[in-house]
Structure formats: structure tokens, C-alpha cells
Amino acid sequence: MASKVVPWYKKKHVSQVKTDFAIHHTRRVGVVKQHTHRRSSSKSVNQVQAQATEAMAEPAYTSYTIPVFRRRSAEETEEYQRVSSNVEKGLAVIQEELHRMRVATKTQVETLVIQREVRDMMTRRVDLLEDFPRMPDFLVALRPHTVWEKTPVKLFCTVQGNPRPIVKWYKGGVPVDPLSAPGKYKIESKYGVHSLIISRCVVSDTAEYSAVATNSHGTATSRAAVTVKRAAGAGELCHLGLVPHLTEIHASKLEVTLLDRFSVTFGEEAGSVSLVCSMVVVPDLPNVPPHVQWYRDDKLLQPGKLAEMSVGGGAAHLMLPHLAKDDEGLYTVRIFTKDGTAEHSAYLFIKDAAPPVAGAPGAPMSVKAYDINSDYVLVAWKPPNTVNEAPITGYFVDRCEAGGDAWVQCNDAPVKICKYPVHGLSVGHSYHFRVRAVNSAGISRPSRKSDKVTALDATESERLQVVRVAGKQDIVITADDLEGYVTIPGVPTDVHASEVFKSYVVLSWKPPSPRGRAPLWYIIEKCVAGTGVWQRLNTAVKLHSPRYPVFDLQDGQKYQFRVYSVNVYGSSEASEPSETVGKVDEDGVPSAPGKVIATRNTKSSVFVQWEAPKHLKNLMGYYIDGRVVGSKEWFACNHKPFKHNRFVVHGLTPGETYVFRVQAVNVFGLSDESQESSPIVVEPALATPSAPYAITLLSCDGASMTVAWKSPKYCGGSQVNAYYVDKRDADSLVWKEVNLTGTTERICTVDHLTEGAFYEFKVKAANMAGVGVPSAPSAPMKCEAWTFEEPGPAYDLSFSEVRGHSLVILWKAPVYSGVSAVTGYLVDMAKKGSSEFVTLTQEAVSQRYLLVSGLEEGETYVFRVCAVNAQGVGKPSHVSEPVCAKALPGTKEIVAGVDEETGDIFLSLEACEISETSKFVWSKNYKPMGDCPRVAVSAKGRTSRLTFTSPDKDDLGKYSVVVTDTDGVSGSHTLTEDALNTMLELSHAIRNPVVPLKHGLSYEILEKGHVRFWLQAVKISPSVSYRFIINDKEVTAGEGHKMSHDVATGIIQMTVDNFTRASEGTYTAQIHDGKAKAQSSLVLVGDVFKAALKEAEFQRKEHIRKQGPHFSEYLFFTVSEDCTVMLACKVANVKKETTFHWYRDEEEIVLETPPNVLSGACALPIALFSRKDQGVYKAVLSDDRGKDTSAFDVSGQVFDDIINAIAQIAGASASELVIQCTPEGIRLQCYMSYYTEEMKTIWKHKESKIASSEKMRIGGTAEMAWMQICDPSDKEKGLYTIEICDGLKTHTRTFDLSGQAYTDAYEEYLRLKAAAFAEKNRGRVVGGLPDVVTIMEEKSLSLTCTVWGEPTPEVTWFKNDQEVASNEHTRVTFDGGKFASLVINKVTPEDSGKYSINVRNKYGGEFVEITVSVYKHGEQIPEPKLGQPKVATPTATLVPPKSPAPPSKTPTPTPPKPQTPMKSPTPASTPVPKSPTPTPKSPTPTPPRGTKSPTPPRFMKSPTPPRK
């Protein structure tokens, strides 16, 4: 292409630097001049113009030469001097001539002559280049450079040769690879000048660099040294983190190339998302990063808590740490570069988080505050999308003061529109607001809180004025200063309704002027239009803002409003009434959007567009919903209203079919849904395929070259059906087609090549949309015959079954095998970005695939393969494409199974994604199966099935399948012999069907003694038929036999009504269900039959029994909380006349309250249950219809179970152990609800079991268990435990008898022991005295008794409290220290009175009284008058006994159960009757010494036990 032509008189002198093209052009000019005669130097003006035109027609890349007209002859020189001398005269003529020449030249340059000249020169240049073959030669060689660290350097050279040489760069003999360090090296080749640019040199870049030029005739090399120096002290500065001063580079002067870009991203509320865009920056200066801006929906984002931005490390980051639906939108990163800007955009979707209540709506969004005043703001928001949730019924608005976390609900009832006026704010306070949506299921999550707003008077700033004095100082004055001294404010004006909705009305007005300096507030009044009756509204609060929301207006009424201004000085006049205001019906939601059209976009997205609604009504945006065809569940495609009427829905399943609908959104909510779109399959839009890549040379014989390439990464939505290959010589610009007819293989042999020449190739792919763009030209390849002995490279590396920790790599055999056949392959692996390859196989593998395991999930790897033959290891293949060890989402494996209908054995794979052009390619041992007669392949939707026609051992092996035109969907399955045998058995069962049985033939005894024979099949159809055979004789349904079946459960049954001894034998059931059959038999003979017959007879008897009164539940026992044992039963079919009787061991038990049979239950309580209650209990139920009996044997195990049940309740109620001291020792007692010795009770001392003995006595009462330590000593100290076992659990109580507890108990024991000893040995009357004696006068009275005491007590008799002296009339005797007598001879009435005897020794005594009445002969026996009651009552006898009665033992007292157990109670003494000392009415006469009983000392009295 020719460059712009400049006229000769405008050209400047340029240096004579020639490009390779200029050199060849100069040579051509020289050759032409040899065949051309020189023209005459005398030329006319027209000749000069023609030569100038020819010179200007030269192509732009030729060097500048001196025009011919400048080469003046002597005559021209003379003429020029003449003209110069007369320049003033001819200047006008010359200028006119020059102008004419310039116009003519410009016209000719723009003509076709220039184009023809260019084409001719290009043709001649090519011909001349072919005529002069030359090896490479450097016209301009490399030169050495010395540069400072962190500065760039550029090496360049100019080389010529025919064919055009290929230049490669080396550093210290190692090839320079720009991809190994992106941004470090840049290689350019323009117009024959080859350059290597090294950016930001470091000391390690010091080396010898060389440029090697190669063509078919040889090689030339140019070398130069590059020395990188570090500035003095730079090491110290770098160590300190400082950078040496460089020339300032602005961020916009950097070269930036975007590499990895963030894709469409999906997030969730309350989560976080990071958007990253990596790039290469030249030069890469850490202190001068690129200038990066982030946008959301074309709005610039600012860094903050909700958006964290950073640039560095070759990447730009945007972190959104607290996601909300407000963050959804199109994100754009814009980077300023030297050439302008580099941009990338992708959509971020934010879905709703899980609601607090199932079915609750999503959170609202975009909460903002408007119309901010001192105590009023208007809050607005956007409604959420409701897909499957119930419709939204309203919203709650919350507020929170800035800096706090206490949210206060602003509205009591939900507001139905997406606006709400909030009033009652505090002046000068800052607030945040949030909104929650409400529906019938519950309340949503709160929205993101709004930005902070401060409640300030919006008119304050308008009342400020700034006045500049003398042009130097500014003075701020307020309108108050200009109003003068004003006390009462003016009248508000322009009262009107600024917001009118059905829920509320917002009043607005203009503040008064003048307003005064005092704080101002407002009073509002309303009036029903036409009534004139005004009513104040804001009675509770002072209103400071010229805004006020009114909520309590009635529907259908019209109102007027007026406002007063008030301050401390008073109130203004009322404002003019407003226009009439009334609630209006809400304008409503927009109409439904129009027609929805969905079209293809990519393999996971669909482009949706729709018509706008006919009635927009302040439209906010749209919500798009999607649904899989065949499903009833809709899903939200976007979660924030989208403003345009076209949208790309991302995140869809490839190959799935969807329909879409759209809803319009405004402040009132969501419109009706639009009509659904037509179903669309998610497929890429149809386009030409992308370029193939990775062109590889596989073989060369000197005249032909075999090349291969990889298929395009993007097929364009249609299968690639052809490839076209072009070639060219490396030094030519003209491409030539290799194959006019497209090839379907990705390998091609190019013939008719020149040996030794360098060739480049490019490939284009074609599909039904057309031919795609060509690939990048391959590297120049030399056509030179391969003669090396090792094999050539393997090619077409591909991957299958990529999972988290493994993958399968496959390749094709090399075309060039060397001098011997290929015997195996070696596979190398390296992590992406690393050049250190590791060989995976110790020995060469013979197959062309390899399972690679042990990978790190998420890591990216590259591979290469080397073929091996007998001579060695061949050339490695090209490095594979990077592959990430990560399974595709939703990946499924191949499943082996058997078809339930046909019995075919198959392998099946359900693809996680698929496209319209996808095919399932099955392989066995990774060799394509093609049209194999042993298998049949079918596909339906996403599932492909490989069916074996005649499966046997030849089909064993590893099967794999690859789904084309996907991101690598594949799977494999190894068919083993065991698995095949199992499936063959199942296949045989399906093809030779048998009705599968869950249960074989069984029997069941029913009530009335009927017997049911049944079996259950896994599945039966309604057309099933069956028959029963008994002892080889088929039975039919009829009398005595009933047959039925249930299709739902698969049960087939026969009921035999009369099961007798003749029913013994074999029972068989035969089933026919379509082609399937089944048979099951049951043998009922011998003991099995006898058991069945016995059970049948029992059931018959039971049926008969239940015809009359009977027990529905036989006798059983329960134990109540007070440990009363209840024998209970339940009765049925009873009536009022039915009787019920209890028996024990055949003896009837009569209860105080007769049993009530009509209640349905009867019980027999047994209190204080013990072993004596064992026996056989019976309950008899009878009436005129029959009799039923239930017996219960309370003995053996039943008795033990009852005792355990009692022990369970008693053990749970047991108190802690308490001490009770007795004269015999120390007693530990455990009170419980009931105790009996049959309970399993164990006492332990220091973990040792205690057995009952004279030392340790164990016993108890009905209320407690006790253990007594007799005559305790220090050995008995320690921890005591009682264990009560109920058969399941052991109840334990403990007491530590040691320390102070033992000391106190032991002292009490000694005290009680002494008291008991005194009680035992004191004087007492053992027996013989009556209470009352009636005797006739003249009779003799003898009062005789037996006394006892140790030592022998003294005896004293009293009459009427006066001691009786022994005389003739009254004789007192005391014989043997045991018998005391008072004998009165011939009693007289005077002898009547109260007599008493006092028996005492040193331990105490006893005082006994006798009343004596004497009556005369013939008189009626008088009623005896008893004296004072006696404590002890001896047996009264007139005749002394023959032998005295021994003193009785002191009984063991049983103190009452304490109300509250005490750990260390005061022990109670043994109760002993007190022996009162008589108080004589007169001084006691002194009796004889031998008979007087001394009064015992006070301390000898028997103590009275304390009351518990």
C-alpha cells in the first residue's frame, strides 16, 4: 500500500538509511539504467514535471534520491544564475509556475498511474529477488549498550538475504522467550529492522545478546554485550525500600495489556465476591501503577467499606465484602493506557439469601432518603422480585441513629407502596434507614441500610448571605439580621399536598417571612371541606419542618389544611387554607410487558428482549423469570430491577430448554407477568468457528511436509465440517491454497515443496455458517528430509475424564517413526508456568493413553509426550494446552445396568452439559468403536446408551465416552467379569420373567379360627391370575374358601373358614401375570400343623368367649406412688347386671366399695405389700350370657417384679441417712414411702457389705429402713451407705459417721444407755393392785402387790396422802423384798378413801393409787369414785401370786417419721413413764424406818423423749 505522497518542494533532507526493500529497489534502478540512454540535459518544463511525477510515484518504503531536475548542467546553471540575478523581475512568474506544477502533481498522484507503478514495481521486485539468492547478511549489526538499572534498552539490527531470513534472539546462547516473562521482553520485526526491547533492566540482564538470521542458504550472527549498572548507593536505597530517582512516568503513559478477565459472577446476599483482572504493564513500575477505575452500571465506584479496590502485582482487584442486591449490575474496569483505555465488563448477579421464615419474600433494595428536613425525611426503595413466594402485602421501615445498632420500627402497619415519610426525628441527629418486606408467610431479611442522613433544616443555608468588606474579608449574615427585631413570626404560605397516596398525604408549605430569631415550630389544622370546623393535628409534638405526613384521613372525604407559625412570643395568623385534598386511588402498577423473545447467545446464556408496557407509570425497571420446560418452578434471572428491555440471562444449563417471562416494576410493586416466551434450547449463537491453533510439523521427506493442528476452541454453534490449509514461502507475502476441497481430518500433507526452503502455514475451519478466520501463521518450518533414527513427535494431545485428582491424557502416534517401529511412549508433566517437567512413567507405555492420578485439585498442569523406539527417545510433542484438575459442575459417571423391559445390558452416561452439535463418541480401551456389530449406540437428550447385542467375555474392558463440543464432558467405566455375570443373570431373569415374590406362601390364624394363606409379589398387574392347590387338588372360591388379591400391595390370599384335622397337607399357590409365572408351596404336617390347629381352636374359643362378658385385658399389676400394689384388669361387653368377684387362694375378697364393671376397669389394692400377700388371685366376671375368669399368680418372678417396682418408687423417695441414738447403740435410719424386708437392700461400711449380727442389727418398719450399731466403738467410724436395688437401677444414700457427728452421737448414746439402765432398775409395782376396791364393812381388806427394783426398793403406803402406820387395825408388811401388803381388819366406813403405795430405790420409783369404798350391810353398793389417773396400772389382785413376774424388757421405741430429714438430728431418748412424786395435803407423818421409801433424787427421773 502506497504512503501519502509529498510534493518535491516540501520534502526535507533525510538520512540515507536504507531498509532491505530500499536496497533491492536501488539495485533494480541500477540494472534499468544500464539499458537506458541518458536523456539530454536540456529539458522542458513538461519533461521536468513528468520526472517529478515518476519520482513521487515511488512507494513509501524506497529511499530518497536526488531528483533529476536538480542535477543541473552547465547551461542550466547559467540559466539559474540569470534567473537569480533577475529574481525580483521573474518571482511572480516562477511562483505561478510552481503552483501550477504542484496542482498537476497532486492530481497525477491521485490517479491510477501511481497504483499501476506500484503494482509494476512490486512485481519487478519479486522477480529481482528471485533472481539473486543470497545468504543472510547484517547491514546494520548489533551494538553494545551500557544502561542503568531499571531503565529499558533496545537492541536492533538490519539483515538482508534471499529468501528472507528468519531472525531469532539469544541471551548467552539461550533462546529469548517473551512468554516466559510477560512484559519483560518485546520482539519486533518491521520493514527489515529487527529489534529486542528489554524493559526495566536488572543486573542479571547483563549478558551477551545475539541475533541469528537463517535462510536456506546459510546463517549469519550478530552479537553485542549489554551491561546493566547499579547506581552508587542504590543497594542501600533498595534495602531501605527506596527507589532511585527516575524520569517521572505518568500512569497514562504505560502500555497495558489485559490477560485474564473476570467472567460473569454469581454471589449471594451477606457473602463476598472478588473481581480480578490480570494485566501486563510495560514498564512495570511498582511506584507508578496503572490508573484504574471501576464502574457499576456506568456509575463510578468510590473505595469504601462496601467496595475495596487495589492495583498491584499485575492485577486490578475489586472486593465486595458485604454483598447485597444493591451490588448487582454490570461491572466495568477501565484502565488508562498510552493508547487510550483498556476496558472489560461482566455482569454480577446477587441472589437472595435464605429467608428467616420459609416462604418470606426477599429483601428490598436501593433504600435512599429524600426531601431531608429537620425532623422529616422521605424514604424510598425498590421492591424485591417474588417468583414462587406469596405476593408482598407491605413494608416496614426501620431507623437507627448513626453509630448505634438499635433499630426502631417507624410504621405500625405495613405501608403498601415503596415510599414512606418518616417524621419525629431529632434535629441535628444522623440516621440510617432500612426496609423489610412482608407477605403472608412472614417478614423478609432487612435491606442494606441507607447512607447516613442528618436531620437539618434545608432552608437554613438559604437564609445565609456572605458580604465582602473592602474586598478582603467575608462577613456572614443571616436573614434575621436583615429582618430587624421581629417577635411573632409571619404567616406560612403555599400550603399544599406534595405527596398524595391512598395510605398517606404529605403536606408542604413555605416558611414564614419574617420568621424572627426565636426557635420556630408549626401547628397544623385540618377541616372537612365545607364544614368550617378546624381540628388540630400535631397536638403531641412540636413540628419544626415545613413537611408533615397525615395518615388518618377517611376515604371519600375532602379536606383542607392550614398552618400556624409559633415561637415563644406567640402564634401567627393562620395561613390560607390549602386546596381540597383527599385520598386518591393508587395509580397502580404498570401494565404487563409485551411480547418476549428469547434467542441464542452462548452455550450457557440466552438473550431475552421484550416490548415495553403500554402504560409505564414511572417505571423502575423489569424482573425476568425463567423456567425449565416441564417444571412448574420459576427462578429469578435478575434480583435488581433492570432498566432496559433486553437482558442476557446467564448461568443456564447447556442443552436445556427454557421459557421466560417479564414483569415491570414501579413504586406500587410488580405488574402482571407477560406472556411466556417460546421455548428455547440453550445453545451458542450460530457463527463461523474460531481459528484452529497449534500447527505442528509431524514429518518431512524434502519434497512434502505433514502438518497437524488442533480444532477451534469455539465451533460457532455448528459442527466443524472442513479445514482449509494455506502455505507461503517464509520470505513471501502471498498465501497459496493447499487444498481446494476441505479436509475433515486435522492433519494434512503438503506436496511439491522446495527442499531447503522455509514455509509458513495457516489453517481455517468451516461450518455451516461459513469459513472462519485463519489461524496465526505457524513458525517458519524448513523443508528438510528427516533422517534421524528416533521417532518424530506425537501429536493431538487431548484430555478426558478430568476430575479433581486425576485425568486421562490421550495422543496420536507420530507420523514419522524413525528407522524402527515405535515401542512405547513417555509422558512428562509440569505445573503451568513451570519448565520443570516430571516423567510420569518409569517405563514406556505401549498404549496411546495414560491415567494420571495424584493431582492437586484446582491446580493447572501441562503435558508432553515422547515416542520411543529401539534407537531411543524421539522428539517431544508440543506442550499441551493447560488443563485444570477440576471436575465440571454436575459431572456424572457412566452407569452399567440392565433394561427392565428388554433385559439388554447397557452402559449409560448422562451429560452435565450438551450442545446442539454435540455427539457421543464411545471408545473401548480408548479406541473409537465406530460401527461395531457387538454394540448399538443410541442417544436421547443428554443421555447416551451403549447396548451390548450379545454380551460375553469378549466385551470385557474399559469403555469411555466423550461428548464433543463441550468443555470436556466425558466418563469411563471398566466392565469386569463379575459385574458382567451379575448383569447376565438379571438379564436372563428379565427375558425369562418370573413374578418376583417378597414373601412366599405363609399362613396366619385369624379370629373365629379362620386361617389365611397368603403370599406377596413385588409387583402384579390388574390382569393377574392365580390358583390354590391343597394336596394336589385345586380349590375354588366358594363356601369355606375365600380368595382375593390387591394390586397395590401385590398380596394374593385365600381364607379357610373351617380349619380342622382334615386340613393337614401341602398348600400350593400358582401365579400367572402376563408372561411371568411364580409358584410357592407350604407344607403343614406334623408338629407344624398341630400348632396351627391349636391356635385356630384357641381363636375360635376366644371368639365364643367374647360373645359374653370378658376380660379385654387380663389381670396385671401396677404400683402407685404410695407403694400400694394394684391388681387391675379391663373388662368388655358388660352390662349393669354383670357381677365381679375377687378371690385369693379360692377365698373371696370382699371390698368395702364393690367394683364398677361399667367403668371398663377394676382394681384390687394391696397396701403394705409383703411376702404374706403371695398367692393366686382371681377375678371372676359373669352374667346371664356367660362367665370369664382371669387368674394371676403372685409368686416367683411376678412377686420379684412387684418388689422391684415398689423398690423403684421407694428408692426414689428415700431420704438422706439420719442418726437416731438408742440405749443399745447408734442407729442410721433412711425414711421412704414404704419399706419391706423383701426389698433388695444392702448396707455398707466403707464399701464393705454389712451382714446383720449382734453387733450390727439391720431392720426396718413400713416407713423406714434402719441399721443399728450396738455398743459402738471407734472401729465403727466411717462412711455408711444404703443401696436399694429395683432390678434396673440402684438408689444410694450415704452418711459419714466420723468426726464431730460420731462424737455427738456417741455422747448421746452413753446418756441414753445410762437413762435406760436407771429405768430398768428403779423401784416399781409389777402387779397385783386394783384401781378401785368396794367392800362391805366388817370385812377384811388385803391390798397385796409385787414390787421390783435393784437394789431392793423401800415401800410406803398412804391413805389420803397420809402415810399409813402399821397397827392392829391396819397391818403393813413387805416380805422378801418382793411382796408388799396392806391388810385392814374389819373395815369401817371410815376406812374409805384414797390409798396409795410408793415404791422407790436410788434409781427412782413408782406411785400407785387405789380407791377404797366401804358400805354397810344391806346398803346398795355405791358407785366408786376414782382418784387421779395413774400412770402405770398394775394388775389388781387380792391374793398374792405364787411366783413373781420377771421385769419386762424395755421395748424398742419407734419415733415418728420426721417431716424434714436432718443430717445430724439430736437423738431422742427412749420414752419412759414419769413416776410422779405425790404431794401430801398435810405434812407427811414419819413412818417406821424400815418401811419408808426415800424420795429419789431429781436427776434420777426418767427423761421425757423430745418431740420430733
Contact partners, residue 739, CB within 8 Å, separation at least 6:
724, 725, 748
b/e 378-400 (16+ beta carbons within 10 angstroms → b): bbbbbbbbbbebeebeebbbbbb
- Measure the CA–CA gap between 293 and 309, rounded to whole angstroms: 9
Percent of the chain predicted with pLDDT > 70? 82
Q: At what angle do helices 112-131 and 87-109 cross, to 10 degrees?
A: 70
Q: At residue 1502, does pLDDT exceed 70?
A: no
Q: Rounded distance, CA 1204 to CA 983, Å?
A: 59
Q: Helices (H) and strands (E) in the chain — how many of each?
A: 11, 98
Indicate the residue type of 266. Answer: F
Helices 87-109 and 74-85: crossing angle in degrees, nearest 10, is 120
Q: At what angle do helices 45-56 and 112-131 cross, to 10 degrees?
A: 60
Angstrom distance (rounded) from CA 693 to CA 712 = 7
What is the CA angle 983-988-990, rounded to 5? 95
| Contact in structure between 781 and 761 (CB atoms under 8 Å) | yes
Do the beta carbons of residue 1445 and residue 1326 sit within 8 Å? yes
> Distance from CA of residue 421 to its chain's centroid?
38
Q: What is the mean predicted confidence (pLDDT) over 768-795?
A: 91
Report d(CA 465, CA 459) in Å as an integer: 12
Question: Where does residue 968 fall: left (phi above 0), alpha (psi -120 to 50 degrees), or beta otherwise?
Answer: left
pLDDT for position 1103: 86
Q: Three-state secondary structure along 1278-1331?
A: EEEEEEEECCCCEEEEEEEECHHHHHHHHHHHHHHHHHHHHHHHCCEEEEECCC
Given the DSSP bridges, would you call strands 1051-1056 and 1041-1046 parallel, antiparallel or unpaired? antiparallel
Question: 1131: which 3 cell numbers?
Answer: 373388662
Average pLDDT, the chain: 82
391 cis-preceded (ω within 30 degrees of 0) = no
| Lowest pLDDT segment from 575-589, 752-766, 853-867, 932-946 | 575-589
Name the one residue in this structure whose C-alpha cell is 424400815. Answer: 1490
* Helix, strand, coil fractions of the chain, as percent rounded to 5: 15, 40, 45
Helix (H) or strand (E) holding 990: helix 977-991
269-319 pLDDT, tens per residue? 999 999 999 988 888 777 788 889 999 998 999 999 999 999 988 899 999
3-state secondary structure of 120: helix
Name residue, grid cell 428415700: 1214
Rounded to whole angstroms, the Cα distance separating 1427 from 1423 reads: 13
Residue that has been written with the C-alpha cell 389365611 in this structure: 1012
SS3 191: coil
For residue 307, the cross-strand partners are 304
Asked if the model's pLDDT at residue 239 lies above 90, the reply is no
Contact 325, 241 (CB under 8 A): no
| Percentage of the chain modeled with pLDDT above 90 | 46
Whether residue 1344 has pLDDT greater than 50: yes
Note every long-range contact of 186-193, with CB atoms under 8 Å and residues 24 or more positions apart, other chains counting: 186/282, 191/19, 191/20, 191/21, 191/61, 192/19, 192/20, 192/21, 192/158, 192/159, 192/160, 193/19, 193/140, 193/156, 193/157, 193/158
pLDDT value of residue 251: 62
Q: Which residue has better confidence, 938 or 470?
A: 938
* Pick from 230-239, 780-789, 1013-1022, 1426-1435: least confident: 1426-1435
Mean pLDDT of 1109-1138: 92
Sort 900 into a burial class: Cβ within 10 Å, 0-12 / 13-18 / 19+: exposed
SS3 1096: helix
d(CA 714, CA 18): 44
CA distance 106 to 103: 5
Question: What are the tens digits of pLDDT across the range 1470-1486?
Answer: 333 333 333 333 333 33
| Owner of C-alpha cell 417419721 | 1457
Q: Which residues pair with 635 in a beta bridge?
A: 626
pLDDT of residue 92: 64
What is the Cα–Cα distance from 417 to 501, expressed in whole angstroms? 9
Cα distance between residue 73 and residue 84, in whole Å: 16
The region, left, alpha or beta by phi > 0 then psi within -120 to 50, assigned to residue 218 is left
CB atoms within 10 A of CB 1216: 13
Q: Lowest-confidence range among 130-139, 634-643, 1373-1382?
A: 130-139
Q: Tell me the average pLDDT across 129-149.
A: 81
Q: What is the pLDDT of residues 1181-1238, one digit of tens each?
A: 999 988 899 999 999 999 999 999 999 999 999 999 999 999 999 999 999 999 999 9
With a cut of 60, say whether residue 236 has pLDDT above it.
no
Q: Are 522 and 374 in contact (CB under 8 A)?
A: no
Please state, in angstroms and rounded to a whole number, the distance separating the CA atoms of residues 923 and 932: 10
Give residue 124's pLDDT. Answer: 55
On the question of pLDDT at 1434 being above 90, the answer is no
Report pLDDT digits (tens) over 461-493.
666 666 666 555 566 666 666 666 667 888 999
Residue closest to 759 by CA, chosen among 742, 786, 779: 779
pLDDT of residue 35: 39
Helix (H) or strand (E) holding 1174: none
Q: What is the pLDDT at residue 36?
A: 38
Question: Crossing angle for the helix pair 112-131 and 20-34, nearest 10 degrees?
Answer: 90
- Name the helix (H) or strand (E) containing 782: strand 781-782
